[in-house]
């Protein structure tokens, strides 16, 4: 027997989440069985735990879009018992049972061997949010980061915190946008050299172009803030668009693209090919200072997840929540 957080839906469509005991034969069929050690709380997990549920394909469901652990059994030559592995993406935790469980069974193609220099807890301190932050930095580098500071929106959240720490470590000046002034000390400790209040990027300016201010941007917020930021980018600079914490609409004009050659780069962590995933994880192991990672982490257990899922949807989680699935 092992424990998992199971989300059920009743006849009226109401969902509820609780820690339950289950057996290995209840897990979905796939090549590799993993003894999960850690998972995390991402925005999508909030959606999958809560009543929204739009991402969940069928109930009962075990959420958890990422995990790290040790291979227990494998029908695939690439993995053998005892191997340390990490998983992000591939709709695990949405369409396939995920990491909020002491055991998981997944396709070998979805896994990546844990890179040297990271243990399973550190890998999940990074998690999907940090992995996506690294993909964003790599995309900005591929297109060339300009001279001005790199703007990070939703900076006190998961993606934003890791992006801030990586960019600062690589020597870029980071301007961190936050709606929580109390996080200024935290963001400066991660390496931000400038704090921008969320209200400064509100919708009141209607001009499609403003001063050329930012040499690049990692945007976790989307919506009106992204539209405003597009008009503040330096000539030829790029925005890595990651998320929609502030809305899915984009009330922008084409002017920043036409007159400033701004690049809007879509970042998708879910369907990344194996080689890209490996490259991103290897760069995380070298380009993210572990002491900064520790400063972002808050520990949790399976039983804490229903509350944390609700909190992250309200933008109330700071940094990264690491779930020790064997604790509590």
Number of residues in the chain: 328
Rounded least distance, CB 160 to ligand NDP, Å: 6
Q: Are 134 and 283 in contact (CB under 8 A)?
A: yes
Q: Is the peptide bond before 280 cis (omega within 30 degrees of 0)?
A: no
User: How do beta strands 174-178 and 194-197 pair?
Assistant: parallel
Pattern of binders to ligand NDP over 70-89, x per CB under 6 A? --------------------
Least distance to ligand NDP from the beta carbon of 193, Å? 16
Candidate residues 180, 188, 279, 298; the one interacting with ligand NDP per rule CB under 6 A: 180
How many chain residues are in contact with ligand NDP, going by CB under 6 A?
33
Orientation angle between helical segments 274-287 and 158-169, nearest 10 degrees: 60
Nearer to ligand NDP, 98 or 158 (CB): 158
What binding mask, one character per residue, do residues 257-276 give for ligand NDP by CB under 6 A, x or -?
A: ----------xxxx------
Binding of residue 92 to ligand NDP (CB under 6 A)? no
* Gap between the Cα atoms of 134 and 214, Å rounded: 19
- Residues 36 and 85: their CA atoms lie apart, in Å, by 9
The yes or no reply on residue 159 touching ligand NDP (CB under 6 A) is yes
Residue 128 engages ligand NDP in binding (rule: CB under 6 A): yes
Find the radius of gyration of the CA atoms of the chain: 20
DSSP notation for 272-313: --HHHHHHHHHHHHHHS-HHHHHHHEEEE-GGGHHHHHHHHH
- What tokens appear for 322 in the block? 């690491």
Q: According to CB under 6 A, which one of 39, 132, 232, 263 is a site residue for ligand NDP?
A: 132
Position among 196, 237, 300, 317 found at the interface with ligand NDP (CB under 6 A): 317
The answer to whether 136 contacts ligand NDP (rule: CB under 6 A) is: no
Binding site for ligand NDP (CB under 6 A): 42-44, 128-129, 132, 154-160, 178-180, 183, 198, 220-221, 225, 242-246, 267-270, 312, 315, 317
């Amino acid at each position: 027997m092992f424990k998992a957080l199971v989300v059920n839906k009743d006849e009226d469509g109401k969902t509820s989440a609780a820690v339950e005991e289950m057996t290995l034969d209840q897990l979905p069929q796939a090549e590799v069985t993993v003894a999960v050690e850690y998972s995390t709380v991402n925005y999508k997990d909030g959606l999958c735990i809560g009543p929204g549920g739009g991402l969940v394909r069928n109930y009962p469901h075990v959420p958890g879009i990422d995990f790290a652990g040790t291979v227990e059994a494998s029908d695939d030559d690439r993995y053998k018992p005892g191997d340390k592995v990490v998983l992000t993406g591939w709709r695990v935790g949405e369409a396939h049972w995920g990491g909020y469980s002491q055991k998981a069974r997944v396709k070998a193609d979805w896994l990546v061997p844990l890179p040297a220099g990271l243990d399973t807890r550190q890998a999940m301190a990074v998690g999907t949010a940090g992995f996506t932050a690294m993909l964003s930095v790599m995309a900005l580098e591929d297109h060339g980061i300009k001279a001005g500071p790199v703007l990070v929106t939703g900076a006190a959240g998961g993606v934003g915190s890791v992006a801030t720490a990586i960019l600062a470590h690589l020597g870029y000046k980071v301007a961190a946008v936050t709606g929580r002034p109390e996080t200024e000390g935290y963001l400066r400790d991660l390496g931000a050299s400038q704090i921008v209040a969320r209200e400064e990027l509100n919708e009141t300016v209607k001009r499609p172009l403003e001063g050329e201010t930012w040499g690049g941007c990692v945007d976790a917020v989307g919506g009106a803030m992204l539209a405003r930021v597009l008009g503040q980018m330096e000539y030829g600079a790029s925005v890595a668009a990651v998320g929609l914490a502030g809305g899915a609409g984009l009330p922008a004009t084409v002017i920043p693209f036409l007159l400033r050659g701004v690049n809007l780069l879509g970042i998708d962590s879910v369907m990344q090919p194996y080689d890209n995933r490996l490259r991103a994880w290897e760069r995380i192991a070298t380009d993210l200072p572990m002491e900064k990672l520790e400063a972002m982490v808050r520990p949790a257990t399976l039983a804490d997840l229903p509350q944390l899922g609700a909190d992250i949807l309200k933008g109330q989680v700071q940094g990264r929540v690491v779930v020790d699935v064997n604790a509590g």
